[in-house]
Amino acid sequence: MTKNAQTNKEIVPNLDKLPLIQYFANLPKANRRPVIISAPKEEIVEIIAETCGKTKMTARRWLYGYTKPCQAEKEKIAELLQCSVSDLFPETQKA
């Protein structure tokens, strides 16, 4: 993203109570014109990483479901997205 592009680091609350992976997948794609106007997915990665004190790569791993954050980080993310930990990180039933 260029330095001239304005970023709107406004969090979209998880009002539908989606799991984190689905919430991230439903965010709109970046608006690309001559320059990137808005990149909601990249912004949420940056905000979650900053909130939890982790790298953007770690936040991406959580958002794509490759790894799971610890309980304290789950609580920070849930507070940030204005929903419960159980909504964001549902327990999967093992068969």
How far from chain centre, in Å, is Cα 22? 10
Name the β-bridge partners of 36: 32
Enumerate residues 6+ apart whose C-beta is below 8 A from 39: 1, 7, 30, 31
Q: What is the pLDDT of residue 93?
A: 55
Longest CA–CA span in the chain (Å) reads 51
Q: Which of 12-16, 49-53, 55-59, 81-85 has the lowest mean pLDDT?
A: 12-16
- E strands present in 1-95: 31-32, 36-38
Quote the CA–CA distance of 77 and 88 in Å, as a whole number: 9
Residue 69, pLDDT score:
96
Identify the band that residue 36 occupies on the pLDDT scale cut at 50, 70 and 90.
low
pTM, to two decimals? 0.69
Q: Where do the structural domains in the chain lie, given as residue ranges?
A: 20-83
CATH code for the domain defined by 20-83: 1.10.260
Cα–Cα dist 86/54, whole Å: 22
Closest CA to 12 of 49, 3, 20: 20
